[in-house]
Amino acid sequence: MPAGMAYDEWERAGHQLVGVLDSSCWWLGDWLKYGKDHYTDRYQRGIRAAGLSYQTLRNYAWVSRRFDLARRRPALSFQHHAELASMPVGEQDLWLDRAEQRQWTTRQLRGALRATRQGGQPARTAAAEPSRRLEVPGSRVQWWHKAAEQLGVDFEQWVMTTLDSAAASALEELGGVEGRKEAVSA
């Protein structure tokens, strides 16, 4: 990485690297599918040459087999697809649609799947709600990350807790706890 890289540049590079990593999972999975179909006698040798664990490569190939190229959603990560790979095709498509429309992270998708398995309908939890974007200068976000890291707390959890605490303090000054209850339920 270049010396003196600004936070925004560093963050943008991270997004690009994640895109490359996500694509490489698909590429390796497709590479293995091809190898298994065309080089059965040399397949294991090819896997060893790749230098990744057998189980990792096997997972890539499995997900790639479950989602042919036409069914892969570019807006969703390989991991989104991996979460759904064991389901029947119709259910996969339903969940891919939901994840795409609601812009779920993999974690949010996993939470919605878990909620559905436990109770029938996905619960509208904070993790399942669509996120809202807040434009904040990169230096502030970096500072907040440091604070959360110092406390050993997940960044998103730290932000939520800190904002909830600030809101509670402000609402108590303006009229007590009832204001907080109304704001949270709205």
Average pLDDT value for residue range 167-177:
70
pTM above 0.75, yes or no: no
pLDDT for position 154: 66
Whole-number Å distance between alpha carbons of 146 and 154: 11
User: Per-residue confidence at 126, pLDDT binned at 50, 70, 90?
Assistant: very low
Whole-number Å distance between alpha carbons of 44 and 97: 36
User: Per-residue confidence at 142, pLDDT binned at 50, 70, 90?
Assistant: confident
pLDDT for position 30: 93
Contacts of 49 (CB under 8 A, 6+ apart): none
pLDDT over 90 at 81, yes or no? yes
Percent of the chain at pLDDT > 70 equals: 81
Q: Are 168 and 180 in contact (CB under 8 A)?
A: yes
14-18, 83-87, 155-159: least confident range: 155-159
Whole-number Å distance between alpha carbons of 124 and 16: 31
CA 180 to mean position of chain CA atoms: 30
Pick 78 or 132 by higher pLDDT: 78
> In degrees rounded to 5, what are phi and psi of residue 136?
-135, 135
pLDDT for position 179: 45
Q: Are 113 and 83 in contact (CB under 8 A)?
A: yes
In the chain, what is the straight-line distance between the N-terminal and C-terminal CA atoms, in Å?
Answer: 45
pLDDT for position 116: 81
User: Per-residue confidence at 67, pLDDT binned at 50, 70, 90?
Assistant: very high
Contacts of 185 (CB under 8 A, 6+ apart): none
pLDDT over 50 at 114, yes or no? yes
User: Per-residue confidence at 183, pLDDT binned at 50, 70, 90?
Assistant: very low
Pick 146 or 109 by higher pLDDT: 109
- Burial string for 150-179 (b: 16+ CB within 10 Å, else e) reads eeeeeeeebbeeeeeeeeeeebeeeeeeeb
Average pLDDT value for residue range 59-71:
93
Contacts of 71 (CB under 8 A, 6+ apart): 89, 92, 93, 96
Neighbour-count burial of 65, counting CB atoms closer than 10 A to its CB (0-12 exposed, 13-18 middle, 19+ buried)? middle
